Every structure is written in C-alpha cells, then in structure tokens.
Structure 1
Amino acid sequence: MKHFLFVAAENDALANCKAGGMGDVVRDVPRQISERGDKAHVVVPAYSRLHKEAFFRTHLNFQLRGQTYTAELYEAVPKKEFNNIIHYVIHHPEIESGSIAHIYHDDPTEPFYTDFLKYTIFCTAVAEAIKRGVFGNLDIVHLHDWHSSMVLFLREFHPGYELLKPIRFVYSIHNLAIQGIRPFRDNYASLQTWYPEVPYEEDQLKDQRYQDCINLMALGIRFADAVHTVSPSYKEDIMKPSDPPEFIGGEGLEKDLQKADREGRLFGILNGCNYKNIRSARRKNIFPNIVKAIFIWLQQESKKYKADFLAHTGEKVVAYLDTPPDFICSSVARLTEQKFYFIKRSPEAFIQILEKLEEVNGVFLLLGTGAPDYEELFRDLSHKHRNFIFINGQSEDVIDSIYLESNMYFMPSLFEPCGISQMLAMRNGNPCLVHHTGGLKDTVKDGVTGFAFNGESYDDKIHDMVRAFNDALGVYIDDPARWKKIRANAKRQRFTWEKSVGEYYRQLYLLEY
C-alpha cells in the first residue's frame, strides 16, 4: 500500500470547501487512489470554520516571523466516507475565511496580501506535520496551485525540513493566471518577514517580470519532481507567450514551463468527470427551481441589495412556468474575465445571439456570481432583453436542472485549463458551444460532439462565435437528425477519473498500477 498526501486550498469532499474546479479534483482523485487499494490523506485550511465540526488530532508548533506559531490539526468528516481516505483541516486564527466562496480573499490594492499570510501559515503547518510523521510514511505529496507551493520552499531551503527531500512531490497547475506574487522584503506579507532565518537563493525564486518579488506559482514549477497541467492542450498553450486577448498562454512563466518540459517533468493529463452517484434532478423543473431559489435568496440579508433585480428575474421566469421556451441555451460559471471576457468587451455580439434565440422562442439562462462589473453588465442586459434570464446566485438544484434541461451549453472562455462544465453538460447529452482553447479543445469536437469557434484575431473570434451559434441553432431547427447524432455523440463521451488517475500513477507518481 502506497501513502499519498494531497495539499490544497479546496476540497469538495468536505461541505462548503469549494470555489472552483480544484475542489472537484481534490475530491475525486483520492477516491480513485482508494479504489486501487492505496491510502490518501487530504489536508486543507480550516478557514476559521471547517474545524468546528471536526475532531482534534494534534498541535503543530513551528517557527514563523522569528516566533513560535501553534496550529491545530483536525480530522474532518467528509460528505461521503471512503475506505483509506482521511480528511484533515488545519486551524489557526490567522487562517481566515475570505470573501470568495468563504475561502479566498480579494485584496484589490495589494493582490495576494491576505492569502499569502494564511497559506504561508498553512504550508508551514503541513511541512511540520509531514516531518513529525502525522500522515505516516508518505510516498507521494501532491500539491495544488500556488497556495500549497510554500511546502516546496521549505523542502528546498529550510534546514529544519530536510526530511521532506526523499519524498516525491507532484505539483498540479489548475489556473496559471493566478500566481501568488509577493515582495521578497519591505512588506508585512513578504518572504523575508515570515522566514527571516531561512537562507534562500533569490534568483531561484524571483518573478522574471517583478524581480523584487517571489512568484509562488513559479516556485511550484521550478522545484516539484513532476509538474502537471489539467489537460494536454493547456500544457501546449502555456509553453507559449501570452498575446492577450488573442491568446492566453504562459503568462510570464513560459520559460519555466519550457525548462520543466525539457527536463521531462511537465505532463498534461486531462481531468476526469464523475459518472457515478450523480446528484439527480427532475425534468421539467427548471423554472420552478429558479423561482424557489429566488424566494430563498430574497429572505437572505446578503441579497437585499439585489432584491429588486431578483424580483425582476422572478417575474420573467413566471411566464415560463406554464409555457416553457422551445430552446434553452445556458451557462454556469463564476463571472470573471476568464469566463466572459468576450461578452464584456463585445456585448453587441451577445445581443445578436439573444436576438437569434428570440426568433425561435429561445432563452438564454446564465447562473453565476463574481466580479461586480460583470454582475452589473449581466443585470443590465437582463433588464433590456426579455429572453435573457440572469440568475445572480448559487443553487445546486438550479444548476442540476440547467445541466439536465438545456438544449445547448455555452462556454466562451478566454482560456480554459480543463473545464468541468462542458463535461457535465455532455454527460446529459447536451451539445456545447465552446472557444477552441485549452481543455475545451481536448473535450469538444466541432460538428461531432458539439460546436467550437476560433480565430486569428479578437475580431475574428467574435465574428466566429456568432457564426458558430447561428450554425448550431440552424442544425437544431433544420437538421434534427444531425442534432440527434451530435447529442448522442456528446452523451457517449467518457472522461473518466479511472483513466486520468491511471496516467497520474504512470507519469506523475512513477508507480505501477
């Protein structure tokens, strides 16, 4: 039996510990490891809340800022029990809950300021726990994104953590654009403040663009034994320089990634999707579920400032309770530049899509929360366009209904490391219209399992997005047999975790399976 430790900021195996796709991966990969007869330990921060229903296991004492810190390790109760998986959370008063999904902080004036503090404490506590053998004798430590990479800093430079060096460390990149850049010194949230006694090589840690800063994403790429991107095409994308908005690539880290590739340490393996124990929804329930969710939100104090808009949305939805539309196009995503840049910059193109939908008695459903300027854009479009229903909240029942009942799923991501939404839509036999980038390139075949748009320039992409939408709607209206075949092809696709984790064992972990 091999022993694994997963270190991450999110873990959807625990309630209320997910902000994005990383949480799905950290939930699902240990389950596959368990099925293979190996043992997985999973540790995340407690964010001042997740430890309250957990079981205390031990104190962890370590040095930071020239003084002794004491963190608490708890064993957490997962949403579902599996053999050979143990979930932990680490509590310290300074590991605080953020405004984004009660996990991450948004520090607009000093990016990553607060998150640097809490993940530095978290990573040092994890390194101390590994050193003390709390997780047993580990064969593999699998780190996820910059939030966990400080463990590699301690392994490489801290004399007190040399015991970590024989263990194989794997580093997964979920979103290269979020890099955790902070100053080396002259700031409270800086490397020198928190590790004044650690001798380190600045040249090995610095960001190539901001040379007085450490880049924690680069740290993971430079010091891990294996570096993993969550799709093969994203691996190829990020080894090229970015040229926004035409192309989002290495985001300043392409040379580090090219070096890792030359050294045989960089691997692109597609994320999987869950095809078992799927949370079920009832058909023909999408509009009642939306109305129900709106009534719930209207009772919440946090939604008061959106009350007028929610009432406006509810009024539009009520019209579809008795007479549903003939076509539903949908999107479910956090409202960010990555997901909806094309719509923010070119709303006129989205309006063309809405007008085309109106010709066939179709609606566009968008569910999501996120950046205030994106929320404001979509609220404004909803007021102006009767067939655009913007659901400005989060509801599992509504999301399940959207994946089940949509006719087509729309995913115009500027870039996409892997993407899970297209897999969930295809699982239900819903063709997707996607931007031909990253993991979307690896999962949606234009004209076979869905539809795609692309282009050399930004204007080309926008023109092709509208063209692809019109073509897809044309197939639905004029060629039902072909639409049925595309639906069937989409539903037959299987992006299984069993296959993906098999590649993890072979390429990342260097283990027989």
Structure 2
Amino acid sequence: MNNFLFVAAENDALANCKAGGMGDVVRDVPRQISQRGDKVHVIVPSYSRLHQEGLFKTNLNFSLRGLTYTAELYEVKPKREYPNIVHYVLHHPEIEAGDIAHIYHNDPEEPFYTDAIKYFIFCTGVAEAIKKGAFGKLDIIHLHDWHSSLLLFLREYHGDYKNLKKIRTVYSIHNLAIQGIRPFDDNYSSVRNWFPHIEMDYMALMDYRYQDCINLMAVGIRFADAVHTVSPSYKEDILLPSSPPEFIGGEGLEKDLLKADEEGRLFGILNGCNYKNINAEESGFIYRNTVKALFRWLQEESKKYKADFLAHTGEKIMEYVDVRPKFIVSSIARLTEQKFYFFRRSPEAFVEILKKLKKVDGIFMLLGTGAPEYEELFRKLSYEHKNFIFTNGQSESLIDSIYLESDLYFMPSLFEPCGISQMLAMRNGNPCLVHYTGGLKDTVSHMKTGFCFDGDTYDEKIKSMLDGFDLALDIYKNDKTTWKKIQAAAKKKRFTWKKSVDNYYKVLYNFKAS
C-alpha cells in the first residue's frame, strides 16, 4: 500500500473549504487513490474554524521568527466517508479566515501580506507533523499551488526538515497567475523575518521581475520532483511568454517551466469530472430556483447593500416562471478578469449578443459574484436589458438547474488552465461556446461537441466570438439534426478521474498503474 499526503489551501471534501477548482481536485483525486487500495492523508489549514468539531491528534512545536510556535493537528470528518482517506486541519490562531470564501485574504495595498504569513505557519507545521510521523511513512507528498510550496523551500534549506528529501514531492499548478510574491527582507511578512536562521540562496528563490522578492509559485516549479499542469494544452501555453490580452502564457515563469520541461519534470494531465449525482434538480425549476435563491439572499444582512438589485432580478425572472424563453444561454463563474475580460473591455459585443438573442426570444443567464467592477458592470447591463438575467450570488440548486436547462453554455475565458464548467455543461448535453485556449482546447471540439472562437489579435477574437455565437444560433434554429448531433456528442464525452489518476500514477508518482 502506497501512502500519500495531499497539502493544499482548499479541500471540497470538507464543508465550507472551497474557493475554486483546486478544492474539487483535492476532493476527487484522493477518492480515486483510495479505490486503488492506497492510503491518502489530506491536510488544509483550519482557518480558525474547521477544527472546532475535530478530533485533537497532537501538538506541533516548531521555530518561526526566533520563537517557538505551537500548532494543533486535528482529524476532521469529511462530507462523505471513504476508506483509506483521512482528513486533517492544522490550527494556529494566526491562520485566520480570509474574506474570499472565508479562506484567502485580499490585501490590495500589499498583495499576499496576510496569506504568506498564514501559509508560512501552515507549511512549517505540516513539515513538523511529517517529521513526527503523524501520517506514517510517506511515499508521495502532493502539493497544490503556491500556498503549499514552502514545504519545498524547507526541504531544500531548513536543517530540521532534511527528511523531506527522501519523499517524492509533486507540485500541481492550478492558477499560475497567483504567485505568492513576498520580500526577502525588511518586512514583517518577509521570508527572513519568519526564517531568520536559515541560510538561503537568493538567486535560486528570487522572482525575475522583483529581484528582492521570493516567488513561491516559482519555488514549487524549481524544486519539485514532478510539476503538473491541469491540462495538456495549458502546459504548451505556459512555455511561451504572456502577451495580454491576445495570449496568456507563462506569466513571467516560462523560463522555469521550460527548464522543468527539458528536465522531464513537467507534465500536462487533464482534470477529470464527476459523473455521479448528475441532475439533482428536477427539470423545469430553473426560474423557481432563481426566485427561491433571491428571497433567501434578501433576508441575509450581508446582502442588504444590493437588495434593490436582487428584487429587480426577481421581477425579471417572474415573467419566465410559466413561459419558457425559446433559447437560454448561460455562464456560471467567479466574476474576474480571467473569466469575463472580453465582456468588460467590449461591453458593446456583449450587448450585440443580447440583441441577437432578443430576435429569437432568447435570454442570457449569468450567475456569480466576484470583483466589484465586474459586478457593477453586469448589474448596470441587467437594468438596461430585459433579456439579461444576472443572479448576483451563489446557489448550488440554481447552478444545477442552469446546467440542466441551458441550450448553450458560454465560456469566454481569457485563459483556462483546465476549466470544469464546460465539462459539467457537456455532461448534461449542452453544447458550449468557448475561447480556444488551455483546457478548453482539450475538451471542446468545434462543430463536433460545441463551438470555439479565437484570433491573432484582440479585435479578431471579438469578431470570432460574435461569429461563433451567430453560427450556434443559426444551427439551433435552422439545422436541428446537426444541433442534436452536437448535443449527443457533448453528452457522450467522458473526462474521467480514473483516466487522469492512471496518468498521475505513471508520470507524477512514478508508480505502475494498478
């Protein structure tokens, strides 16, 4: 039996411990490993809340800032039990819940200031737990994004944790754009302040652009035994320099990624999708579920500032409770530059789409929360356009309904490491219209399982997006045979975790697939 440790900032196997796609991966991959008879320990920070119902395991004492820190290790109950998987959280009062999903902090003045402190404490606590044998003798440590890469820094430079060198360590990149950059010195949230006695090689750790800083994403790429991107096409994208907005590539780390690739350490393996528990919602309830979600939010104190807008959305949706529109286009995502840059920079293109929909008695449904400037843009457009239904919140039952009842799913991401929404839409037989980039290239085939747009310049991309939309609408209206064929092909596609984890075993973990 092989023994694994997964170290991450999020784990959707636990309640209220997910902000993005990383949480899904950290939930699903251990389940696959457990099915093979291997053992997995999964650890995330407690964020001062997740340990409260947990079972205390041990105190962990370690040195930071020249002081002795004591953290507590708890075993916690997952949402669903599986054999051979044990879930833990590490609690220390300085690892607090942030304002993004009660996980990450948003420090606009000094990015990563608070999060770096949290994850310095967390990673050192995890290193101490490994040293103490809290997880038994480990064969593989699997790290996720910059929040856990400090374990590789400790393995390389910290005298107390040389034992980590004996364990194969894999590093997964979920979001290359968020890199965890902090100063080496002269700052409370600097590496030198937290690790004053470690002799470190500044050249090996530094960010190329800010040479007085460590880049923790780069540390993961430089020191891991295997580096993993969550789709094959995204791996190819990130070996080239970014040239936004036409192309988002290596985000300043392409040299490190090329070196990892040349050394045979970089692998692109597509994420899987969960094909169990599909369609928990009954068909025909999309508008009722919207109304239910809106009323629930209206009663929440934190939503009072947008009560008028929620009521406005409710009013619009009531029209459709009994009379279904002829064509529903939908998008579900965090409202960020990555997901909706094209709409924010070219709102006139989005308005053009709404006009095209109006001619066929269609609507556009968007569900999500995120950056204030994106929320404001979509609220404004919702007031101006009757057939744009913007639900400015989060609701699992409504998300299920949208995936179940849309006719076309729209995903105009500027870049996409893998993407899960297109897989969830396709499993319900919804064709997708996507930007031909990263993981979207690996999952949606133009005119076979959906529609793709692209271009060499920004203007070409926008034109291609509108042309792609016209094409989808035209086929839906005038060529039902082709539309049904595309729907059936989308529904038949299977991106399974079994296939992904077979590849993990072969190339990331260096085991024979079993």
State the alpha-carbon separation in 1 of the partners of residues 144 and 229 from structure 2: 10
Closer, same or farther: CA 125–396 of 1 in aligned 2, 3 Å: same
State the alpha-carbon separation in 1 of the partners of residues 48 and 409 from structure 2: 37
Letter in 2 for 1:374: Y
The CA deviation at 1:229 is: 0.2
- Aligned equivalent of 1:116: 116
State the alpha-carbon separation in 2 of the partners of residues 205 and 162 from structure 1: 18
Residue 407 of structure 2 corresponds to residue 407 of structure 1: yes
- Aligned equivalent of 2:149: 149
Is the 2:41–2:88 Cα contact (8 Å) retained in structure 1? yes
Letter in 2 for 1:454: D
- Aligned equivalent of 2:230: 230
Q: Give 3-state SS (helix, strand or coil) of 2:351's partner.
A: helix
Residue 154 of structure 2 corresponds to residue 162 of structure 1: no
- Aligned equivalent of 1:337: 337
The CA deviation at 1:483 is: 0.2
- Aligned equivalent of 1:356: 356
Is the 2:228–2:266 Cα contact (8 Å) retained in structure 1? yes
- Aligned equivalent of 2:428: 428
State the alpha-carbon separation in 1 of the partners of residues 207 and 142 from structure 2: 23
- Aligned equivalent of 1:72: 72
Alignment size in residue pairs: 513
Note the 1:231-270 alignment, pairs <5 A.
231-270=231-270
Q: Give 3-state SS (helix, strand or coil) of 1:351's partner.
A: helix
State the alpha-carbon separation in 1 of the partners of residues 102 and 451 from structure 2: 35
Residue 219 of structure 2 corresponds to residue 207 of structure 1: no
State the alpha-carbon separation in 2 of the partners of residues 476 and 73 from structure 1: 55
Write out per-residue CA displacement over residues 228-262 of structure 1, whole angstroms, 9 at most, x where no aligned residue: 00000000000000000000000000000000000
Note the 1:55-454 alignment, pairs <5 A.
55-278=55-278, 280-454=280-454
Percentage of identical aligned residues = 72
The CA deviation at 1:54 is: 1.3
State the alpha-carbon separation in 1 of the partners of residues 357 and 98 from structure 2: 38
State the alpha-carbon separation in 2 of the partners of residues 123 and 109 from structure 1: 25
Write out per-residue CA displacement over residues 126-181 of structure 1, whole angstroms, 9 at most, x where no aligned residue: 00001111000000000000000000000000000011111000000001000000
Letter in 2 for 1:346: S
The CA deviation at 1:444 is: 0.2
Write out per-residue CA displacement over residues 456-502 of structure 1, whole angstroms, 9 at most, x where no aligned residue: 00000011101100110110000011000000000000000000000
Q: Which portions of structure 1, spanning 4 or more consecutive aligned residues, are displaced by more than 2 angstroms?
A: none
Write out per-residue CA displacement over residues 84-126 of structure 1, whole angstroms, 9 at most, x where no aligned residue: 0000001111111011111101100100011001011000000
The CA deviation at 1:277 is: 3.1
State the alpha-carbon separation in 2 of the partners of residues 361 and 114 from structure 1: 49
Q: Give 3-state SS (helix, strand or coil) of 1:320's partner.
A: coil
- Aligned equivalent of 2:35: 35
The CA deviation at 1:413 is: 0.2
State the alpha-carbon separation in 1 of the partners of residues 198 and 160 from structure 2: 9
Write out per-residue CA displacement over residues 33-79 of structure 1, whole angstroms, 9 at most, x where no aligned residue: 00000000000001111111211111111000000001111111000
State the alpha-carbon separation in 1 of the partners of residues 156 and 150 from structure 2: 10
Is the 2:279–2:404 Cα contact (8 Å) retained in structure 1? no
State the alpha-carbon separation in 1 of the partners of residues 277 and 355 from structure 2: 38
Q: Give 3-state SS (helix, strand or coil) of 1:448's partner.
A: coil
The CA deviation at 1:279 is: 5.8
State the alpha-carbon separation in 2 of the partners of residues 357 and 45 from structure 1: 46
State the alpha-carbon separation in 2 of the partners of residues 99 and 245 from structure 1: 28
The CA deviation at 1:278 is: 3.4
Q: Give 3-state SS (helix, strand or coil) of 1:242's partner.
A: coil
Q: Which runs of 5+ in 1 are unaligned?
A: none
State the alpha-carbon separation in 2 of the partners of residues 441 and 10 from structure 1: 26
Q: Which runs of 5+ in 2 are unaligned?
A: none
State the alpha-carbon separation in 2 of the partners of residues 461 and 70 from structure 1: 53
State the alpha-carbon separation in 1 of the partners of residues 324 and 301 from structure 2: 31
State the alpha-carbon separation in 2 of the partners of residues 98 and 480 from structure 1: 49
State the alpha-carbon separation in 2 of the partners of residues 467 and 263 from structure 1: 42
Q: Give 3-state SS (helix, strand or coil) of 1:322's partner.
A: coil
Letter in 1 for 2:47: Y
Q: Give 3-state SS (helix, strand or coil) of 2:329's partner.
A: strand
Q: Give 3-state SS (helix, strand or coil) of 1:481's partner.
A: helix
Write out per-residue CA displacement over residues 312-338 of structure 1, whole angstroms, 9 at most, x where no aligned residue: 000000010111111110000000000
Write out per-residue CA displacement over residues 439-465 of structure 1, whole angstroms, 9 at most, x where no aligned residue: 000000000000000000000001110
